[in-house]
Amino acid sequence: MLPEIESFVSWLRRKSPQSSTAVHYGSDLKLFFAWIGKACLDVKVQDVDAYIEHCQKEGHAIGTVNRRLCALRSFYQFLYLHDENATGNPVIPKRHFIRPGERLPRDVEDKNIKALFEGITNVRDRAMFLLMLRCGLRVGEVRNLSMSDLYLEPASGSLPRIWLHGKGSYQRVAYLSSQPLAALKLWLEQRPKVREEAVFVNRFGKRLSVTGIQDRLAGYCHQAGLWVTCHQFRHTFGRHLTEARVPVTSIQRLFGHARLKSTEVYLHISDAQAQEDYLAAMNEIMQVLPLEVKP
From residue 293, alpha-carbon distances to 88, 266, 278, 290 in Å are: 65, 33, 20, 10
One of 30, 54, 67, 257 is an active-site residue; which one? 257
Cα dihedral 160→162→163→169 (10° resolution): -150
Rounded mean pLDDT of 19-32? Answer: 89
- Is the model's pLDDT at 268 over the cut of 80? no
Residue pair 145/171 in contact by the 8 Å Cβ criterion: no
Q: Give the per-residue pLDDT at 269.
A: 67
Q: Give the per-residue pLDDT at 90.
A: 92
For the chain, residues classed under CATH 1.10.150.130 are: 3-96
- Is the model's pLDDT at 128 over the cut of 90? yes
Cα dihedral 26→171→66→82 (10° resolution): -50
* Active-site residue, 167 included: yes
Distance CA 89, CA 206 (A): 41
Rounded mean pLDDT of 79-91? Answer: 82
* Active-site residue, 231 included: yes
Per cent of the chain over pLDDT 70 is: 95
Q: Which amino acid is at 7?
A: S
One of 161, 167, 172, 207 is an active-site residue; which one? 167
Distance CA 267, CA 248 (A): 8
* Banded model confidence at residue 63, pLDDT cuts 50, 70, 90: confident
* Active-site residue, 195 included: no
Q: Give the per-residue pLDDT at 154.
A: 86
For 188-244, write each residue's pLDDT tens digit: 999 999 989 999 999 999 999 999 999 999 999 999 999 999 999 999 998 898 888
One of 68, 234, 235, 239 is an active-site residue; which one? 234
Grouping H, G, I as helix, E, B as strand and the rest as coil, residue 198 is: strand
Mean pLDDT score across all residues of the chain: 88
The reported pTM is 0.70
Q: Give the per-residue pLDDT at 37.
A: 92
Ranking 72-76, 266-270, 287-291 by mean pLDDT, the lowest is: 266-270
Grouping H, G, I as helix, E, B as strand and the rest as coil, residue 150 is: strand
Q: Where are the beta strands (DSSP E) in the chain?
A: 150-151, 161-165, 171-175
For the chain, residues classed under CATH 1.10.443.10 are: 110-272
Within 10 angstroms of residue 287's Cβ, the number of other Cβ atoms is 8
Distance CA 50, CA 91 (A): 12
* Active-site residue, 138 included: yes
Distance CA 46, CA 130 (A): 47
Distance CA 165, CA 181 (A): 19
Ranking 69-78, 131-140, 239-248 by mean pLDDT, the lowest is: 239-248
Give which of 18, 35, 32 is closest to 73, Cα–Cα: 32
Burial class (CB in 10 A: 0-12, 13-18, 19+), 199: buried
One of 13, 30, 207, 231 is an active-site residue; which one? 231
Burial class (CB in 10 A: 0-12, 13-18, 19+), 49: middle
Distance CA 271, CA 36 (A): 47
Q: Give the per-residue pLDDT at 104.
A: 63
Q: Give the per-residue pLDDT at 1.
A: 64
Per cent of the chain over pLDDT 90 is: 55
Considering the domain delimited by 110-272, tell me its CATH architecture: Orthogonal Bundle (1.10)
* Active-site residue, 191 included: no
Q: Give the per-residue pLDDT at 103.
A: 66
* Banded model confidence at residue 101, pLDDT cuts 50, 70, 90: low
Q: Give the per-residue pLDDT at 102.
A: 62
Distance CA 61, CA 121 (A): 34
- Is the model's pLDDT at 171 over the cut of 70? yes
* Active-site residue, 222 included: no
> How are beta strands 150-151 and 161-165 bridged, if at all?
antiparallel
More confident residue, 266 or 175: 175
Q: Which amino acid is at 125?
A: D
- Is the model's pLDDT at 281 over the cut of 90? no
- Is the model's pLDDT at 151 over the cut of 80? yes
Domain 3-96 listed as CATH 1.10.150.130: yes
Phi, psi of 121 (to 5 degrees): -100, -15
